[in-house]
A = this chain, B = another copy of it.
Amino acid sequence: MRETKLRRVCFLLKVRQDRLEDYRRDHETVWPEMLDALSRHGWRNYSLFLRPDGLLVGYLETPDWDAALAGMQDEEVNVRWQAAMQGYFEALGDAKADESMQPLEEVFHLV
């Protein structure tokens, strides 16, 4: 059963308001190799939602969040993807977006 084996993960990032259109456009055509890598590392039912001011909400379900993150770190396509995305985000400092995905606390769930 999906409910018993997968963890639901929610994280927040901030897209620069002057790059929203670029961010949107790039996510209409995410590279197939990137999608394949995410799937192989357990990123399932993964959505990104954008507020008009650039607040970005990520939601996914995964059997193992640490493994999902760590697995992507070793993917060459992810290094290229994160480099392409880095200019879109605010206040990440030197960190790549996928190094700043701190999961929020889940306080309620209804199946």
Contacts of A55 in B (CB 8 A): 12
Establish whether residues A47 and B105, one from each chain, have CB atoms under 8 Å apart when the complex forms: no
CB of A107 within 8 Å of the partner chain = yes
CB of A16 within 8 Å of the partner chain = no
With A57-B10, A59-B10, A59-B59 given, is the CB distance from A48 to B111 under 8 Å? no
Establish whether residues A47 and B106, one from each chain, have CB atoms under 8 Å apart when the complex forms: yes
Closest-CB distance, A72 to chain B (whole angstroms): 13
With A57-B104, A104-B57 given, is the CB distance from A12 to B51 under 8 Å? yes
Question: A89-111 toward B: CB 8 Å interface, digit per residue (1/0)?
Answer: 00000000000000011111111
CB of A30 within 8 Å of the partner chain = yes
